[in-house]
Structure formats: structure tokens, C-alpha cells
């Protein structure tokens, strides 16, 4: 009976067409708009339909661990290495990087715009106790932000109400920052593509500490026999190819390139 129901249910659902691959990628990757350019190129070159699940880094890794996706594309080196070490991922392959920037109200009460380094900027915000919005969702962006607070010798436990962890994706967090007129650290791509800037402005950027490395991790077929390992491998090769390099480096918003391709073949 259960079998019959399963068959009926699957018939009702959408039938897969051609080769498909499920890829979990972070919200910042999607919000940049790069995925809208890459996916059609992948379909054209490889005949591969990439089903993109846009989730936070934490959830992407969870999906990879469960074997619900065939590969993940995230930007949190520590979590990625743990993922591979635990045997969930085959390896990690660096693809590209973009940078994080610090955004805040145009009035800039903490004086972030005149900071010398990223650590300096964070310290100014902590001292001024100006409103700061944090992703708070265990994502790559969030982990980067936390590492910067640590580098600035700040103790999160001592932060009071000026520090707001919203527990949401990049776009939603930017919305909150816009609504509350607060500081926020975001990836450049999401910021450029964001439609609700309000009175927020880009105040600080350029410090190498703010560089954000994206890596591709195919899910291990040893752990999960059913994953589409061949397609994952094909996609990986494509992502490190000159063709991908051309698309990624060429992707611009408002004349500005967002990502820098740095994969080694």
C-alpha cells in the first residue's frame, strides 16, 4: 500500500528531465545574481540542470551531511575543512572570492568611514555602541563577522542591546539594517544587488581581512551512495575552467566586478 502511494505521489510530482544536480549554495551567492548567469551557461555547456537550493551556510552543510544534495558551495573555510575531515565531502575546491564591506547609516555616528582597518572599524562600532545587525545564523558571513570581533578583542557576551542578531539570510538582514538604520557587514555582491538601501551607505572596504573565499565541495559518494558524483565532478571541472573564469570575472553590477576567480585547475 505504501509503495502504491509512493508511486502515485511521485507521478503527481514533477518528473525530472535530463541530468540534474542538486547544489546547496549560500544566500549571498544567489543574492549577487551570479547564479542567474552561471546556471544557464552550465545547462548550455554541460547539458546539466542545476537545481539550486539557496540556504544559509549552516543549512547547506547540514544538507550535505544528510546527503540531500550532491554538492555545496559555501564560504566558511573552517566549516568546510571539518566537513571534509568528517568524510562528508570529497575535498574542497576554491573557486572565487569576493569581499565583505561594512555598511551603515550615512550619518555614520561611529566614524567607520575614517577607519584604517577592518579591526579599527569594528572597534569604533563597539566603543560607540551604535546599532549593529548581525546575521546570527551560523553562515559563512556570520562566522567571518565573529572572527573580526575576536580580532578586535571584543567579547560578544558583553554586547548589549545595540548588537542585534537577526538570524536571517543576507537580504533579510540588510532589510533589518535598512529599517533600523544600523551598521552591518555584508558581501559586496548582495549589497550591490540589494533593492532597499534606504539611507545606508558603503562606509568601509578594501582590507584583505575582509576577503571572502567561496569553495565547492562535492558530497562524498562513499557516505551517500546515491549522490550524482559524476555530475558533481563535471560541474567542478567546469567551475575551474577558463569559461567559468570568464563569466565570473566578467560579472558586473553597475560597472563593478563582484567576484574574483582564483581557482587552480
Partner 1 sequence: MSEIWAGIAEAFRLIWSLDEDLIDITIRSLKVSLTALFIACTLALPFGTWLAIRRFRYRRFAIAALNALMGLPPVVVGLIVYLLLSRSGPFGVMGLLFTPTAMIMAQVIIITPLIASITHQAMRELWSEYHDLLISFNTTKQQRISALIWDGRRTLMTAALAGFGRAIGEVGAIMIVGGNIDQVTRVLTTAIALETGKGDFALALGLGFILIALSLVVNLTIHTLSRTEREGRW
Under the binding rule (CB under 8 A), the answer on residue 98 touching partner 1 is no
Among 28, 57, 178, 220, binds partner 1 (CB under 8 A): 178
**Binding to partner 1 in span 107-166, by CB under 8 A:** none
Site string for partner 1, 184-203 (x = CB under 8 A): ---------xxxxx------
Q: C-alpha grid cell for residue 177?
A: 539594517
| Selected range binding partner 1 among 59-67, 76-84, 107-115, 154-162, rule: CB under 8 A | 59-67
Contact 198, 180 (CB under 8 A): no
Q: What number of chain residues touch partner 1 (CB under 8 A)?
A: 34
Q: Based on the shown chain and the rule CB under 8 A, indicate whether residue 175 belongs to the binding site for partner 1.
A: yes
Q: Residue 67: how many CB atoms within 10 A of its CB?
A: 16
Query: Minimum distance from CB of 199 to partner 1 (Å)?
Result: 14
**167 vs 189: CA distance, rounded Å:** 20
- Tell me: does residue 235 bind partner 1 (CB under 8 A): no
- Length of the chain in terms of residues written: 265
Note whether 221 binds partner 1 by CB under 8 A: no
Specify the stretch interacting with partner 1 by CB under 8 A; choose among 50-58, 117-125, 144-152, 210-218.
50-58
The label of the residue with cell 552561471 reads: 38
Q: Does 9 bind partner 1 (CB under 8 A)?
A: yes
- CA 245, CA 97: separation in Å to the nearest integer? 12
**Of 221, 224, 233, 241, which one interacts with partner 1 (CB under 8 A)?**
224
Alpha-carbon dihedral sign for residues 137, 140, 145, 149: positive
Nearer to partner 1, 96 or 192 (CB): 192
- Map the footprint of partner 1 across residues 11-30, applying CB under 8 A: 12-14, 22, 27
Provide, rounded to whole angstroms, the least separation between the CB of residue 63 and partner 1: 8
Q: Determine the interface stretch with partner 1 among 8-16, 128-136, 143-151, 229-237 (rule: CB under 8 A).
A: 8-16
Give me the residues that bind partner 1 (CB under 8 A), please. 6, 9-10, 12-14, 22, 27, 31, 39, 51-55, 65-68, 168-172, 174-175, 178, 193-197, 224, 226
Amino acid at each position: 500500500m505504501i509503495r502504491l502511494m509512493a508511486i502515485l505521489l511521485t507521478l503527481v510530482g514533477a518528473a525530472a528531465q535530463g541530468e540534474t544536480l542538486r547544489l546547496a549554495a549560500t544566500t549571498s551567492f544567489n543574492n549577487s545574481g551570479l547564479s542567474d548567469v552561471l546556471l544557464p551557461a552550465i545547462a548550455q555547456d554541460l547539458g546539466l540542470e542545476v537545481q539550486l537550493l539557496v540556504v544559509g551556510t549552516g543549512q547547506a552543510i547540514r544538507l550535505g551531511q544528510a546527503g540531500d544534495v550532491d554538492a555545496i558551495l559555501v564560504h566558511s573555510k573552517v566549516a568546510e575543512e571539518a566537513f571534509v575531515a568528517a568524510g562528508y565531502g570529497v575535498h574542497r575546491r576554491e573557486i572565487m572570492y569576493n569581499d565583505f564591506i561594512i555598511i551603515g547609516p550615512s550619518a555614520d555616528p561611529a566614524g567607520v568611514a575614517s577607519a584604517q582597518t577592518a579591526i579599527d572599524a569594528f572597534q569604533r562600532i563597539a566603543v560607540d555602541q551604535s546599532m549593529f545587525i548581525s546575521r546570527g545564523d551560523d553562515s559563512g558571513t556570520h562566522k567571518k563577522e565573529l572572527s573580526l570581533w575576536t580580532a578586535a578583542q571584543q567579547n560578544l557576551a558583553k554586547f548589549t542591546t545595540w548588537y542585534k542578531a537577526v538570524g536571517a539570510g543576507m537580504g533579510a538582514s540588510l532589510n533589518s539594517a535598512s529599517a533600523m538604520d544600523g551598521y552591518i557587514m555584508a558581501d559586496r555582491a548582495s549589497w550591490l544587488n540589494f533593492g532597499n538601501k534606504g539611507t545606508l551607505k558603503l562606509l568601509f572596504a578594501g582590507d584583505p581581512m575582509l576577503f571572502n573565499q567561496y569553495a565547492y565541495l562535492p558530497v562524498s559518494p562513499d557516505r551517500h551512495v546515491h549522490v550524482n558524483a559524476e555530475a558533481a565532478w563535471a560541474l567542478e571541472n567546469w567551475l575551474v575552467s577558463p569559461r567559468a573564469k570568464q563569466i565570473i570575472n566578467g560579472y558586473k553590477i553597475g560597472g563593478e566586478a563582484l567576484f574574483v576567480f582564483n581557482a587552480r585547475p
